Amino acid sequence: MAYFADFSMREGFEANYKPVQVPADNKRGFKIKYQYVGPWYVWNADEREVFVAKQKILTSCVISLMLYLVASVQNVPVNYDRFVSMTGLLSLAPFLFVAVGVGELMFSKERMTHQDFTAISGKLKIATVLHGALLMLCGGLAAWVIIRDGNDLSHLFVAACYALAGLQSMAVFMTFRQLKHRKMENDE
């Protein structure tokens, strides 16, 4: 967070990129290209470990979505409760950030710029915790509604699916957090 407090977007860009003249077929004979001069972020693990971690993160994200969909499409009285349904719907907002962060991570290169790394890290640390907490809350509310209204205990399957979806989102957070990185000075 200190990065955002110290720099505006423009100052951050100017600190990490420098203009370089490149020959071009125009009136001036050159064009300006911005070359990255900031630090590179590199995974502090071998290629196989990074691949396995990325696969675990993708799998946990997909399982979380599938469990949420299985729970939310069930035609049971629990899903008609406004607190359960609104909490479940509210969890979709951070899930969009999680999905984008997982996609960015899957297609990330071996070296990442400061901006790319902080974007991925922010999405996979903040959004996953928020998404997981909302889904676990949704599962707890669903269990409370089942007990409160005296519904059939077989409906606990829905509450368990919501809670397990939240745990899968937390698994994304834990796996990403265990994937260590290091800063590498830019030689260019």
Together in a domain, 133 and 97 = yes
CA angle 151, 133, 103 (to 5 degrees): 120
Pair 28, 104 in one domain: no
User: Of 168, 176, 140, 174, nearest to 68 (Cα)?
Assistant: 168
Considering the domain architecture, whether residues 22 and 115 belong to the same structural domain is answered as no
Query: Domain total for the chain?
Result: 2
Looking at the fold, whether 76 and 6 belong to one and the same domain comes out as no
Task: Provide the percentage of residues in the chain whose pLDDT is more than 70.
Answer: 94
The answer on 135 and 57 residing in a single domain is: yes
- The answer to whether residues 178 and 120 belong to one domain is yes
Inform me whether the pLDDT recorded for 176 exceeds 60: yes
Kindly state whether residues 103 and 170 are assigned to the same domain.
Answer: yes
Q: Which CATH number covers residue 158? A: 1.20.120
* Shared-domain flag, residues 20 and 61: no
104 and 23 housed in the same domain: no
With a cut of 90, say whether residue 133 has pLDDT above it. yes
Within this chain, do residues 21 and 97 fall inside the same structural domain, yes or no? no
pLDDT bucket at 5, cuts 50 / 70 / 90: low
Helices (H), the chain: 2-6, 9-16, 47-72, 82-90, 92-106, 114-122, 128-149, 156-178
Tell me, what's the pLDDT at 37?
Answer: 78
Range of the domain at 91: 44-184
Residues 72 and 124 in one domain: yes
Whether the per-residue pLDDT at 4 is higher than 70: the answer is: no
Residue 132's contacts (CB-CB under 8 Å, 6 or more residues apart) are 166, 167, 168, 169, 170, 173
* Average of per-residue pLDDT across 175-180: 92
User: Do both 132 and 77 map to the same domain?
Assistant: yes
Q: pLDDT (tens digit, 9 = 90+) per residue, 51-60?
A: 999 999 999 9
pLDDT higher than threshold 70 for residue 34 = yes
> Is it the case that residue 6 has pLDDT exceeding 60?
no
